[in-house]
Structure 1
Amino acid sequence: MVVRLRLARFGARNRPLYNIVVSQARTARDSKPMEVIGTYDPIPKPAPDGEGKPFKDIQLDITRAKYWLGVGAQPSDPVWRLFAMFGLIEPQWKVVRIPAQQEDKALYEKVQKVKIIPDGGPKTTSTSTSTTKPTPTA
């Protein structure tokens, strides 16, 4: 059978708390797991000093997580995301962010590449060589 690394939900209604568990793929979500390797609290808590961004509490036994990944356990998508935050595995989806100025420049270049065809249909353009006359200097 397949061994999965997944989240098991605990906690009260509207106050979830998850255990990161190792279990068989066909067992129920909250059944007794083979091993509990960490916890995840998705509700952001205020910073300890009162200033700064709130944080989500994640506790993980990294050595056991590496072991289970090494023997072939398959992480679920949320666990994959958590493990990617710890640097244990590569992220599934890479987010490419384009700064606003580059985005505007890319849009401008895209618009410049669009060719507008007149209603008469496509016309062939001929290239002609033009000669420039030297300007007299006074």
Structure 2
Amino acid sequence: MAVRLRMAVHGLRNNRIFHIVAVNQRQRRNAKPIELLGVYNPRLKPGESTKTIEWSVQRIKYWLKVGATPSKSMTKLLQMGGILAPDLSITPNPPPREREPASTASTKVDTATQTAPGEEATTHSAHLSTA
């Protein structure tokens, strides 16, 4: 069974709260989790300047140690919280590939099919006899 650390959505439409859970990766988003690891509230309360994350660092490290893979959004949260080291190998935008202009591609001529002026191509005049 592959375990994934991800967020389950709870709360009202304009007041979402995310539960940080360990769940089988093949189950739906709000399925019954194996373990509830924490709560993330992205809304700012009046007078606060930071978002609220309450989680069990010990249990998250345990699940990562036994092979659970975090989702993309959970990876970002774990990196911001200092549980995972920032991954510097990922580039947000790969460099664009250099493409050959279309005008030079159409001007290439196959030298095998060229014939001298006044000569006919002999490949078109050959006929196969079935007798």
Map of 1:47-126 to 2, 5 A cutoff? Answer: 47=47, 54-92=49-87
Map of 1:18-29 to 2, 5 A cutoff? Answer: 18-29=18-29
Aligned length: 91
Give the TM-score normalised by structure 2: 0.64
**Structure 1 gap segments, 5+ residues each:** 49-53, 95-138
RMSD (CA atoms): 2.1
AA matched with 2:24: Q
What is the aligned partner in structure 2 of residue 97 from structure 1?
none
| Structure 1 or 2: more helix by fraction | 1
Structure 1 position 92, deviation (Å):
3.7
What is the aligned partner in structure 1 of residue 37 from structure 2?
37
Distance 1:45 1:87 in 2: 23
Structure 1 position 82, deviation (Å):
1.1
Q: Which runs of 4+ in 1 moved over 6 A?
A: none
Secondary structure of 1:23's aligned partner: strand
Q: What do the CA deviations read for 1:64-122 (whole angstroms, capped 9, x no partner)?
A: 0000000010000111111112211122468xxxxxxxxxxxxxxxxxxxxxxxxxxxx
Give the percent of matched residue pairs that are identical in Structure 1 and Structure 2: 42
Distance 1:72 1:11 in 2: 30
What is the aligned partner in structure 1 of residue 103 from structure 2?
none
Distance 1:82 1:93 in 2: 15
**Structure 2 gap segments, 5+ residues each:** 90-131
The higher radius of gyration belongs to 2
Distance 2:80 2:36 in 1: 19
AA matched with 1:77: K
